[in-house]
Amino acid sequence: MLESRVAELERNICAREGIAVERTPDAVDEVQRASERALAISQIDRQSKQLQDARAALRRIDDGTFGICEDCEEEIPPKRLCAVPWASLCVVCQEARDRQSLVAFGSIELLQVA
């Protein structure tokens, strides 16, 4: 399953026609295309991260650490691995990391406002 996901993501990331810059004489079309380009770039970025995670999961299978949380070293529940086969963290550790990211992002955002 991971190998097929890697192949799918590689195909999708290589298809970059959505980010080409095309000039049009109509300002409304220009704004629409810029919005579509931003969405395509965001999607490629998300897929690139998922591709890295899937490749890392394949490496963990090879080295025998697949299914073990990288933070607490406890077993990742099979239900989580079925839902997110590239998961490297158990739910508790993932939630903790997400909270840390939100706090860090909030701090950066506050610094930019000041």
| Domain-located, residue 37 | yes
Judging by beta carbons within 10 Å of its beta carbon (0-12, 13-18, 19+), is residue 12 exposed, middle or buried? Answer: middle
pLDDT in tens, 3-61: 888 888 888 777 666 556 566 677 787 788 888 888 888 888 888 999 999 999 999 99
Rounded to whole angstroms, the maximal C-alpha distance in the chain is 58
Domain around 62: 2-66
| Domain-located, residue 87 | no
Tell me phi and psi for residue 86, to 5 degrees: -95, 5
Q: Are 90 and 35 in contact (CB under 8 A)?
A: no
| Domain-located, residue 88 | no
Residues 74 and 90: their CA atoms lie apart, in Å, by 8
pLDDT in tens, 51-98: 999 999 999 999 999 999 999 999 999 999 999 999 999 999 999 999
Residues β-bridged to residue 46? none
Residue 114 has pLDDT above 50, yes or no: no
| Domain-located, residue 17 | yes
